[in-house]
Structure 1
Amino acid sequence: MRAGAVAGPVVLVAVAALGGCGLGAQPSGPAGGEARPGQAEQVRSDRSTGVRGRVVRVEGAPGAHCLLEARATSAWAPPVPDTAVISDAEGRYFWALPEATYTIAARCGGDRGRVEGVEVVSGRVAGADIVVR
């Protein structure tokens, strides 16, 4: 009977201790600032400069969920902002890349393909369709 009398206060102490552990914390924005609704979408929605295209297999099927990598071939090129992008279920992709000339490569399982000399100019979207074999 004595054990039951102790269980109540122990539960209350545990609940009180967990109150400060951050269980109810809200996510914060970059560098600990306040996150604003739509902030991430605004950053990713700039589609005025970059590369847009489609990955297709030799038989014409879409290259769904393929890994795309970009390598800048311009000597003056800035770093590529994202390591890679993934094509959607229809093989389409968009990659916001800084102004430079690129080789864009696609991998779909064991199939590979690439397109060279893709020139990205500020304020324009270059087209680069890739056939994987």
Structure 2
Amino acid sequence: MKLFARSIATVSAGLVALTFLSACAQSSSSEVDGVVVDAAGSPLSRCAIEVVVVDAPPYPEISQVTGEDGEFSWTLPDGLYDIVAHCGGEPGRERVQVPSESELRITVQQ
């Protein structure tokens, strides 16, 4: 009887894993492009960009840094996110629904 119960538990765990993997494989992702600017509209380089999941699958990458042109690009699973820019002053924050057709513009107060 113990062997039967162990077999059922193993099969159940396998089904749960397959369901999870199937759900992950079916979710799509899209690229989110943006630029971080100051109050005057000038691009800001070397700002930390953080993705905060609002309503989406968990996302493992924590942050990245803007380029010299203030731009960033991130591939995210479809869902709702807050994109936060940290540049030394008050952080800028924009909410985005992925997929998105427009480029984000995050203004940071320095």
Q: What TM-score do you get using the length of structure 1 for normalisation? A: 0.55
Moved over 3 A (4+): none
Match among 84, 89, 93 for residue 110 of structure 1:
89
The two structures have a TM-score, normalised by structure 2, of 0.66
- Identity among equivalent positions (%) equals 36
Q: CA deviation at 1:125?
A: 5.7
**1:50 and 1:125 in contact (8 A); partners too:** no
Specify every segment of 5 or more residues in structure 1 that has no aligned partner in the other structure, as ranges: 1-47
Partner residue in 2 for 1:120? 98
Instruction: Give the match for residue 81 of structure 1.
Output: 60
- SS, match of residue 80 in structure 2: strand
CA contact (8 A) 1:78 1:98 kept: yes
TM-superposition CA deviations, 1:10-40 (whole Å, max 9, x none): xxxxxxxxxxxxxxxxxxxxxxxxxxxxxxx
Residues 93 and 52 of structure 1, relative CA distance in 2, 3 Å threshold: same
Aligned amino acid, residue 105 of structure 2: D
Partner of 1:95: 74
For residues 80 and 86 of structure 1, the distance between their equivalents in structure 2, rounded to whole angstroms, comes to 17
Q: Distance in 2 between matches of 1:57 and 1:68?
A: 14
Which position in structure 2 is the counterpart of 1:3? Answer: none
Q: Which structure: larger Rg?
A: 1
Per-residue deviation at 1:126? 5.0
C-alpha separation in 1, matches of 2:60 and 2:102: 17
- The one-letter code matched in structure 2 to 1:130 is I
* 2:39 pairs with one of 48, 58, 70: 58
Two-structure CA RMSD over aligned residues (Å)? 1.7
Listed one character per residue, the Cα deviations across residues 71-125 of structure 1 (whole Å, up to 9, x for unaligned) are 1111xx2112311011101100001111111111001122421112x0113xx66
- Indicate the residue corresponding to 2:15 in structure 1: none
Aligned to 1:131: 107
Partner residue in 2 for 1:69? 50
Q: Could you tell which deviates more after superposition, 101-110 or 48-57?
A: 48-57
- Structure having the higher strand fraction is 2
Alignment length (residue pairs): 81
